Amino acid sequence: MKTFTRSPISAAVVKSSMLVIALFSSSTSFAASCCGGGNPSSILLPKFGEKMVDISFDIEDYNGYWNQDGDYIEDPKGTDLNQYRLNLGYAQRLADNWQANIIVPYVWNDNEYPGISSQEHAFGDASMSFWYEAFDRVTCVYKVNTLADLKPSIYLGGTLTLPTGSSAYGDSAENSFEITGRGMYRFDTNLIIEKTIYPYTLMLQGSYGKYLERDINQEYGKPVEPYTKRLGDRKFLSISAGYTFFLEDLDTLTLTAALADLREDVGEIDKEQDPQTEMKKQSFSLTSSYASADLRYIYKATWSHAFQDDDRGMNFSVTDILTLGFSYAFN
């Protein structure tokens, strides 16, 4: 997804390293549960939660990329591209049906490419979110007795992504291997619809994001002829299904499978379309989460896999991501 041709790094390297930014800045990390956050990578508060702290660690391994035609291309022999992210999050209830959260990532890039070795670390792009819960009471039920028992939990939210990471447009990154952020402000509108009839849970998540246009006068710390750039609108959709096992002392173990589709439309440089910025990624994930009976402690592990097939992506890296997380809620 590299749009700069002035960099000395080859186009293939740029695709493999730059596209990582789209992953950790994605809006795929707001899954929640009104009954206690038993779903993946969440810092959304359960209905009765007052505040929550969350820490997670991502291990992302790169295995080729999709080109602009959607063809899957393997990386050259000897390539080993990895990114590690420590994500610190905090959520706070503002009112009965309102809550907010903030996530701050710290990123390590560890890349080996024929003729190039690079190890860099810096903060990533932080995000701030506000959420409205369109339901007054917990909607999880054990049995459907009336139509009211079928009412789902609905969350409506907005997320602002801040360009706090090292991007190609500042002076902190000298090449694409050192990038830890997109360098753009983005605002997403978010929707979550969830229904739990124990032991089953179904969830639909979606978001739509718009980037702000910015002026650019340098790339990788070197002056360039000024121009304006705006990335294309961002769309995310995911559907998941989970099964909850009740353990001794009412602790729970929840297993969740999800399918996700992430896309960005064609961006613009000086109001002209830039097709190299258009992207797509389709992936599958499995999550295991353990929650204490009082829902104060939640331990999570998620494996996300991008399909290594043609037409499953475009201008995007193919990766496997392992995420380990822990949340503590003050109820």
Q: Where are the domains of the chain?
A: 11-330
Angle at 259 between CA 262 and CA 134, to 5 degrees: 80
In whole angstroms, give the CA distance from residue 23 to residue 1.
12
Of 165, 193, 178, 16, which Cα lies nearest the Cα of 103? 165
Burial annotation 65-88 (CB, 10 A radius, 16+ → b, else e) = bbbeeeebeebeeebebbbebebe
pLDDT at 175: 85
In whole angstroms, give the CA distance from residue 138 to residue 32.
13
The top-scoring range by mean pLDDT among 117-126, 170-179, 227-236, 306-315 is: 227-236
pTM of the model: 0.89
Indicate if the pLDDT at residue 25 is higher than 80: no
Stated as kind and residue range, the H or E segment containing 260 is strand 252-264
Mean pLDDT for 39-52 is: 78
pLDDT at 40: 45
pLDDT at 295: 86
Spatial contact of 168 and 20, defined as CB atoms under 8 Å apart: no
In whole angstroms, give the CA distance from residue 50 to residue 86.
24
Q: What is the pLDDT of residues 252-283, one digit of tens each?
A: 999 999 999 999 999 999 999 999 899 999 99
pLDDT at 36: 55
Of 75, 71, 70, which Cα lies nearest the Cα of 17? 75
In whole angstroms, give the CA distance from residue 1 to residue 59.
21
Those residues whose C-beta lies under 8 Å from the C-beta of residue 251, and which sit 6 or more positions away, are: 290, 291, 292, 293
User: How big, in percent rounded to 5, are the helix, strand and coil portions of the chain?
Assistant: 10, 55, 35
pLDDT at 26: 43
Q: What is the pLDDT of the chain when averaged over all its residues?
A: 88
**Residue range 11-330, CATH number:** 2.40.128.130
Indicate if the pLDDT at residue 215 is higher than 50: yes
Those residues whose C-beta lies under 8 Å from the C-beta of residue 36, and which sit 6 or more positions away, are: 46, 252, 291, 295, 298, 329
pLDDT at 48: 83
Above pLDDT 90, what percent of the chain?
Answer: 76
